[in-house]
Amino acid sequence: MPDSRDPATIILKKQFRSAQAAFSFLTRLGPARIYDNAEMLGCPAWFPIVGITMGTLLWFFTSCISLLSTLCGAAAGGTLDALLTALLVIAADIWLTRGLHYDAVADVCDAMGAGAHGSRFAEILKDSRLGAFGAMGLAVAILARLLSVAALIHKDIAVALIPACCIGRVFLLLLPAFLEPAPYSVLGEMLHSPNASKRFWTWAFPSAAYAALTIAPPAFAAASAACVFFSVFLTRTAARQEGYNGDFAGALCLACESSFLFFTALLG
């Protein structure tokens, strides 16, 4: 029986707890408990794995609904059938993630829409109320995802949910690799570390290769260009606003994930 004081055992336990922290932070799949600082600092390395898990669950859920429709004798493959299935998938996504990234999009849209800067920008980001710009941004984000997922289901390529969710979580690691966190951001401090850049590039290349192998080349090229655009735009915006926080990271995650879903549905 391995000695609990053995260095390898200690490292494995630490990584396991960091993985639990990542799943607990980003989804409802991890155990609900208080994690210490070391576990939280190690959890960003597991974000892409969380994304792959989320994408796999959503794809499996989609397949189960399609199979159930077939077994019940429903006419599968119609536009309305795909839209209703996509609605259930989006609802499952929001429930599993507690709407974390959707909330980030609303907060960033509210702050940017108000034309605020500095402390006022931070104040709007931290305000739990939903403003007009946040509501419009959230509506566009959900509608785009709904139509994209419906098109993927209609074309029988819903498996694209897996690389899309993975790519989205990889881009959660981008801002810490290039920017300092905002002084008011607890999450920014958690994501930021001396090896943040290495962590991002370690995941960026294999996840991009995986996506390139699973979706059509035109869709991959267009989605990659969209991810670059959103990355540059949000990085520059965060740099002008004292640094990034969790809302910037979450908004970038959802934007990149949605880009891969949209262009795969359009060009796949």
209, two tokens: 């290769």
Residue 149: C-alpha distances to residues 154, 156, 237, 262, 263 (Å): 9, 10, 29, 8, 11
The DSSP annotation for 176-192 comes to: HHHSPBPTT-HHHHHH-
Q: What is the pLDDT of residue 61?
A: 95
What's the predicted TM-score (pTM) here? 0.91
Helical H runs in the chain?
Answer: 7-26, 37-42, 47-71, 79-97, 100-113, 118-126, 132-154, 161-170, 174-178, 186-191, 196-214, 217-240, 246-267
CA triplet 10, 19, 249: central angle to 5 degrees? 135
Full pLDDT tens readout for the chain, 268 residues: 445 567 777 778 888 888 999 999 999 998 877 777 777 788 889 999 999 999 999 999 999 988 887 777 655 557 778 899 999 999 999 999 999 999 999 999 999 998 888 888 888 888 888 999 999 999 999 999 999 999 999 999 999 999 999 999 999 999 999 998 888 887 777 777 778 889 999 999 999 999 999 999 999 999 999 999 999 999 999 999 888 998 999 999 999 999 999 999 999 7
Q: What is the pLDDT of residue 1?
A: 45
Q: What is the pLDDT of residue 107?
A: 94
Chain centre distance of CA 169: 4
Q: What is the pLDDT of residue 6?
A: 75
Q: What is the pLDDT of residue 73?
A: 61
Side-chain half-sphere CA neighbours of 198 within 13 A: 3
